[in-house]
Amino acid sequence: MRIIFCISFLFYSTLSLSQLSSNEWHKGIVVTTDQDTISGEIKYDFSSNMITLIKNESVIAFSSYKLVYFEIYDESYKSFREFYAIPHKNASNYLTPTLFELQFEGVLSLLSREKIVLETSSVGYGYGVPIISQPTVRYDFYFLTKTGKLTQFSGSKRDLLRILVKKKNKLQSFIRGNRLKTDDLRDLVRIIAFYNSI
């Protein structure tokens, strides 16, 4: 029985991994630093800051150093998604082009970088219950001003109000009144849209 469960779980995990957007090919366009615009099938990878493009059966890899922008149509989300290569300080404190997804554009724009984490949970209660791990997409959030200042946001309400201190009181009322979570992507888009409107 346990063997059957393990096999079915492994199949489920593989299925879940293959269904993640970053593991799928998407129709889209790429704009390079050489000012070329190329259309084709695109797969992106935030961990390596690279994309792979299939055009006329040729496979081309682009690092963030060679990219300005790319856009895909994501069948899972049924919408277009936009990505930019923006200079950002890496772990060694050097500015390097880094891939970001645009979530909301305005005076203050909301960007994100997705990462895949394994979430573990138990099936049932009691001793010896199987524990399963499932790949899940999580986001690191960033704010971008019109002047090009990029600020990482932890997702906490306290951090949000510290960064956006000039409109703190109105933001607090809006978040409380609408029961919004500052670490939830959809809610955060609403919060930044409101911030830009006041």
What pLDDT does 7 receive?
Answer: 33
Pairwise CA distance, residues 101 & 21, whole Å = 13
Report the DSSP beta bridge partners of residue 144.
109, 150
What pLDDT does 122 receive?
Answer: 66
pLDDT in tens, the chain (198 residues): 333 333 333 333 333 444 578 889 999 999 999 999 999 999 999 999 999 999 999 999 999 999 999 999 999 889 999 999 999 987 788 899 999 999 999 999 999 999 888 777 666 666 666 777 777 888 999 999 999 999 999 999 999 999 999 999 999 999 999 999 999 999 999 999 999 999
pTM, to two decimals: 0.81
What pLDDT does 127 receive?
Answer: 65
Measure CA of the first residue to CA of the last residue in the chain; give whole Å: 59
Contacts of residue 153, defined as CB under 8 A and 6 or more positions apart, other chains included, come to 141, 142, 143, 159, 160, 163
Contact present, 85 and 95 (Cβ < 8 Å): no
